Amino acid sequence: MGFEHWVNQIFGGFNGIFGAFLFWPVPIIKLPLILFIMVTGGIFFTFRYGFLNLRMYKHAIDVVKGDYDHPDHEGDISHFQALTSALSATVGLGNIAGVAVAIYAGGPGAVFWIWLVAFFGMCMKFTSCTFAQLYRRKDSKGGMLGGPMVYLEEGFKERGFAKSGKFLGVFFAVMTIMASFGGGNLFQANQTYEIIKMQFPSASPLVVGVTLAFLAGIVLLGGIKRIGAVTSKLVPLMCGFYVLSCIAILAKNYAMVPDMFAQIFIQAFSPEAAFGGFLAVMIQGVKRASFSNEAGLGSAAIAHSAAKTDEPVREGLVAMIGPSIDTHVVCTMTALAILITGANVDPQFAQKGGDLVGVKMTALAFSSLGDWMPYLLTVAIAIFAYSTVISWSYYGERATEYLFGDKLGGHAVKLYKFTYVFVIILGPILSVENVVEFADLMLLSMAFPNILGMMYMSKVVKEKVDDYVGRYKSGKMPKYN
């Protein structure tokens, strides 16, 4: 308890100062500053590319299917593996607990805001992943290194602002490492134990921590190729199970579906639901396990920079599908299952809050299919958290490589991996709320340099988009499969 108190004291003071800046309410609209930047960025890029998320969605699906994969293209993983690696970091507690918390705070109308935020987030994620491909480079060991830290440095250097670009790149990399330890690691391990303990009260936190660390360590040793191979199997399997379970709940209560959708749209535009729902999604859901789709943060761009392709825009289109799957499918299924079973109005959740209430709310909805379903949900949540842990390790590893490269005798990445695995063990044992809060602030801080930098350099991507779409529409773009 002394150690936990000491850790919380250190980070608690910092959180108060840093959080006050990030969540400073913008005059008139009263949105927190960081969320105002993220919303503005999503709208800006959607209009900048002429609603590319609608025009090229079908083509993006074809790319993911492998129609344009070529084995000789430079890169480490396929389009599909890049997408699942990025999704494995986003599909998890944010979809299961965060959505429930959003509904708890904003009512059924919150679901509409979830859809809207994800729609505009698609073009923001497209932009970051296109930039990641445009400016990627080889690391000290010959692997691909890309992401906001690289394209901010290189892009600003091209425009005569080398020092500013380097500062932004280093700032982003440091924030990424800090976020990986907290939100991508400590929080996931801690919540995995708490969720398991709900169904198995005698579960040992040390056993859960060591088991999760061992399973993660096996994958981490193989780098992005091993991560891509694992997530390409785990993510579709668990998403399929989760979505099918939600569909079964809807089928069981099919007569209520029309009224449920009516309530979502009606309450979305009432003053209470619009304010509560929007801020619930943008604050409650975001601060716990990041945005459900991480659009604007730039983290997914690190994974997508490793994809095999000679067309940067093509990988951006693949990444664009991420928010659609993560939010429009998985988050929506969670929301519909909760609303149609009435789990959100159960008396046991009165005057409560937090992610565990969200998990319990979702578990209550799943129990409508049978008493055994919450146990399967526990397994699904644990696997979702595990996939998040291994993907965020790669993000932190790439940031470490960017900062140190061959320095420290080339051992910086090894030291990072060892520390990362050790922190997984600590996750279930410690209750360090302020450290997780700190990590969430680091996560949100990643959006500052990323979105503002992308807006400044957006002309580059706009020209690439016009060229790519023109060639695609003309029928001159070759397929390989």
Q: What CATH number should be reported for the domain holding residue 24?
A: 1.20.1740
Q: Which of 30, 462, 380, 396 is CA-nearest to residue 181?
A: 396
Find the DSSP H helices in 92-222. 93, 99-106, 110-134, 148-158, 162-181, 187-199, 205-220
- Could you tell me the residue range of the domain that residue 436 belongs to? 2-66+89-474
Residue 198 is assigned to a structural domain of this protein: yes
**pLDDT of 228:** 67
Residue 479 is assigned to a structural domain of this protein: no
Contact 302, 398 (CB under 8 A): yes
**pLDDT of 432:** 62
Residue 158 is assigned to a structural domain of this protein: yes
19: Cβ contacts below 8 Å, ≥ 6 apart: 437, 441
Contact 100, 358 (CB under 8 A): yes
| Residues 84, 78: Cα–Cα separation, whole Å | 10
Q: pLDDT tens track of the chain, all 481 residues?
A: 566 677 677 777 777 887 888 888 888 766 778 878 888 898 999 999 999 999 999 988 988 887 776 766 676 667 777 777 677 666 666 677 777 777 777 777 777 877 888 888 899 999 999 999 999 888 767 777 889 999 999 999 999 999 999 999 999 999 999 889 887 888 888 878 888 888 888 888 889 999 999 888 887 776 666 676 777 777 778 778 888 888 898 898 888 888 888 888 877 776 554 455 455 544 543 443 345 557 788 888 888 888 888 889 988 998 898 888 888 888 888 888 888 888 877 777 665 555 566 677 888 888 888 888 888 888 888 888 888 888 888 889 999 999 988 776 568 888 999 999 998 888 888 766 676 677 778 888 888 899 999 999 999 999 999 999 998 888 877 776 6
User: Across-strand partners of 32?
Assistant: 25
Residue 56 is assigned to a structural domain of this protein: yes
Contact 363, 377 (CB under 8 A): yes
Domains held by the chain: number: 1
Residue 140 is assigned to a structural domain of this protein: yes
Residue 84 is assigned to a structural domain of this protein: no
| Residues 242, 330: Cα–Cα separation, whole Å | 8
Residue 300 is assigned to a structural domain of this protein: yes
Residue 462 is assigned to a structural domain of this protein: yes
Which tokens in the block code for residue 152?
Answer: 């901010």
> 480: alpha, beta or left, given left = phi > 0 and alpha = psi -120 to 50?
alpha
